[in-house]
Amino acid sequence: MTQFALVIDLNVCVGCHACVTNCKQWNTSGNAGPLADVNPYEADPRGTFFNRVLHYEVGTYPETETVYLPKSCMHCEEAPCVPVCPTGASYKREEDGIVLVDYDKCIGCKYCSWACPYGAREYDEARRVMTKCTLCVDRLYDPTLPEERRKPSCVLACPAGARIFGDIHDPDSEASRLIREQGGFTLMPELGARPANHYLPRKKRELAISEEQVERVHSPTALRSAPHAVGLKPIEEEL
């Protein structure tokens, strides 16, 4: 059974918000839109965004890590938003695991946003319905798009390539491979929702240099004597 999901690589995400606005521009005039903006040019503007980037500082100076965490609907395998919906508007598709909201059935009661452990639901103040990430389902199957563009807008936009879209139930997908090989994890797994979206951790690359390496005399590009060593005549370079 297919389970589409995003794998988000925190090792390369620089928090640029490309995923945030490009999600908005696709979806606001796509099938899940429009995504309203309240007070767009006034005080306290707030709008509907299916995807947001959280910014954390971890650790204390100077061992500080600045972490950007893009967050949208996790398309949970045991989605807590689905059973709480009184009208059946909130549902999970069998064929691809995408969690969607049927706006025609949604009465805007917000039970689902209380049930969602990830705060991923976005109440639309214009239409008074609950909205959320659709994984750009209206792109995924659109035969008028070139095949390589049948992906969520955020994935196509991401300048760092930090968002990988795929079927996490297909062990051969790139998404599954990355989760497997790079220690992919989900947020708050203890809650049992089995989020489909995964994150890849930060990795640190160190360089160990031994004293011997630095002091090595047979440098192909350097003199054998330091220039300040008075009286020593430089010897032939090894070109």
Partner 1 sequence: MNEVDSDYLASAITDGVKKTTCYMCACRCGIVVHVKNGKVRYIEGNPDHPLNAGVICAKGGSGIMKEYSPARLTQPLRRKEGAERGMAQFEPISWEEAFSLLTERLARIRATDPKQFALFTGRDQMQALTGLFAREFGTPNYAAHGGFCSVNMAAGMIYTIGGSFWEFGGPDLERAKLFVMIGTAEDHHSNPLKRHIAAFKRRGGRFIAINPVRTGYAAIADEWIPIRPGSDGALFLALMRELIAKNLYDREFLSEFTNAAYLVDVTPGSAEEGLLVRHPEGDPINPLRPHNFSWWDAEKEQWVPDHTPGVRPLLEGERTLPDGRRVKPAFQLLWESLADCTPEWASEQTGIPAARIVKLAHEMGVVARDFQIELPIAWTDWWGRKHERVIGRPVAFHAMRGLAAHSNGFQTIRALALLMTLLGTIDRPGGFRHRAPYPRAVPPNARPPKGPEAIQPGAPLKGAPLGWVEFPEDLAVDEAGNPLRIDKGFSWEHPLSAHGLMHNVITNAWRGDPYPIDTLLLFMANMAWNSTMNTTEVRKMLTDKRADGEYKIPFLVVCDAFYSETVAFADLVLPDTTYLERFDCLSMLDRPISEFDGPVDACRVPVVAPPPGVKPFQEVLLELGWRLRLNAFTNPDGSRKYRNYPDFIVRFETAPNSGIGFLAGWRGENGTLAMRGAPNPEQWKRYEEHGCFFHYELPPGLRYMRNWNRDYLKWAQEVGLRRDFDPIVIHVYSEILQRFRLAAEGRWPGRQPPAELRERVRRFFAPLPFWYPPLEDEHTDRERYPLRALTQRPMAMYHSWDSQNAWLRQIHTYNFLYVHPQTAQAAGVEDGGWMWVESRWGKVRCLCRYSDAVEPGTVWTWNAIGKAAGAWNLAPDANESQQGFLLNHLIREELPFGERTISNSDPITGQAGWYDVRVRIYPADPTEPPQSWPQFAPMPAEIPGMAKRPGGVIAYPTVMSVEEAAAMQESMKSPWAFLFQKQGASR
Token pair of 60 as six digits: 């204390």
Residues 36-95 that bind partner 1 (CB under 8 A): 36-47, 49, 57, 59-62, 64-68, 79, 82-83, 88, 91-95
Report the SS3 class of residue 26. Answer: helix
Residues 98-117 that bind partner 1 (CB under 8 A): 100, 102-103, 105
Cβ-contact 74, 118 below 8 angstroms: yes
Cβ-contact 150, 160 below 8 angstroms: no
Spatial neighbors of 87 by CB under 8 A, at least 6 apart, are 105, 106, 107
Q: Which is nearer to partner 1, 156 or 175 (CB)?
A: 156
Point out which span in 110-118, 155-163, 168-176, 189-197 binds partner 1 (CB under 8 A). Answer: 155-163
Interaction of residue 148 with partner 1, rule CB under 8 A = yes
Point out which span in 110-118, 166-174, 185-193, 201-209 binds partner 1 (CB under 8 A). Answer: 201-209
Cβ-contact 168, 29 below 8 angstroms: no
> What span, in angstroms and rounded, lies between the C-alpha atoms of 99 and 203?
31
Residues 180-199 that bind partner 1 (CB under 8 A): none
Q: Which is nearer to partner 1, 19 or 120 (CB)?
A: 19
